Amino acid sequence: MAPGTPVLVSIDEAPSGSALEACAVVGPSSYGESAVGDPTHVSLTVPLEAVGDFPIMAIGLLQNGQYAFSQEVHLAVDLTGREANQLRFVQPQVNLEPGESCVANCLLECLDGVVRPLPADTSGITYLSIDESVATVDAQGVVTALTPGICTILARYNDLPASVVVTVRQPTADFQDVPPGFWAFYAIRALLRSDIVTGYSVEPPLYCPNVPVTRDQMAVYISRAIASGDYNVPDFTDAPTFPDVGEAHWALRYVEYAVDQGVVAGYDDGNYHPEYEVTRDQMAVYVARSLVAPSGEAGLADYVPSDPRNFPDVPSSFWSYKHVEYCVEHGVVSGYEDGRYHPEIVVTRDQMAVYVARAFELPM
């Protein structure tokens, strides 16, 4: 059967008062026609772009809209003169920045000049990156840029080859004080794109990476990360939990959301102390509590480190031992070159960006 040929789909003994519909499904597309009244057949025209063996489903519908019966017929489309003779990528070239990804789709060009997409089953397609230090490509054709440079992505389908040039350009800086090459550049950019940070100023755009993180800022980082962006952090209209984080405090909804998630608590004096700087032991507590399920200390109740680091300055009796070990085990933090964790060191904004990006597996 050639494309464009009317196909007669019949169903014997169709119930009285039914309508007959025929639907052909070809890859991602479907085509259908129907006959109303009291028919026993319907004619369906196979589209020009339909190729290969595909099913036609004849479905009977009663007047109340309920399915009454169905029948499936497989028909093969005659591809004479329509054999594919060239494989090519849809994109003439791909331009990305490090950390970005895109799908490199391919098309088949036929002898009669018709261009059609690849079959839905892509198991016969292989991809290869000539330089995986610049960009990689997976089995589904997803290209991921790694470092600035140029490389070629190859594809092959039924012995038909194709190639596309991928240019990974030097990333542009979002903040004047975080240029490309800065050690935490990609982590900070990941937080910016995930709506977790905005920066200290707009004119000029500054992130202030060396500024210590305070407890109010820490609540902002964690709340936005848990909620997947600032927009998803709910407003807070109840009575404030802490007297020093009242209704007028800029970080009220973030602190309260972190409290609600079991991530933070106040001090013995009943205050939150948003002005206090966050140290590495406290940071580990915030992060570990936000990652476990259920969140908070309940999620860590039964946690036992599988391969404890046992830092000399974070022994098993240390107040945040579990939290530090949990963060180390999950690749969030590590120790210093002297073999210690240094829980007393104050966390800066560049370090916090790295911890959050790692903890929540943000694309970098």
CA-to-CA dists, residue 233 to 24, 107, 196, 296, angstroms: 46, 43, 11, 17
Question: Contact 242/266 with Cβ under 8 angstroms?
Answer: yes
Round to whole Å and give the CA distance between 4 and 9.
15
Round to whole Å and give the CA distance between 232 and 270.
28
Round to whole Å and give the CA distance between 166 and 73.
44
Tell me how crowded residue 305 is: count the other CB atoms within 10 A of its CB.
15
Could you check whether the bond before residue 204 is cis, i.e. omega within 30 degrees of 0? yes
Say what the pLDDT of residue 106 is: 87
Question: Contact 186/162 with Cβ under 8 angstroms?
Answer: no
Tens digit of pLDDT at every position of the chain (364 positions): 444 444 444 444 444 544 545 554 444 444 455 554 445 555 454 444 444 444 555 454 444 555 445 555 555 444 444 556 788 898 889 999 888 899 998 888 876 666 777 766 667 889 999 999 999 999 989 999 999 999 999 999 888 899 999 999 988 899 999 998 899 999 999 999 999 999 888 889 999 999 999 999 999 999 999 999 999 999 999 999 999 999 999 999 999 999 999 999 899 999 999 999 999 999 999 999 999 999 999 999 999 998 888 899 999 999 999 999 999 999 999 999 999 999 999 999 999 999 999 999 998 7
Domains in the chain with CATH codes: 6-76 (2.60.40), 84-168 (2.60.40.1080), 185-359 (no CATH)
Say what the pLDDT of residue 83 is: 59
Say what the pLDDT of residue 31 is: 47
3-state secondary structure of 284: helix
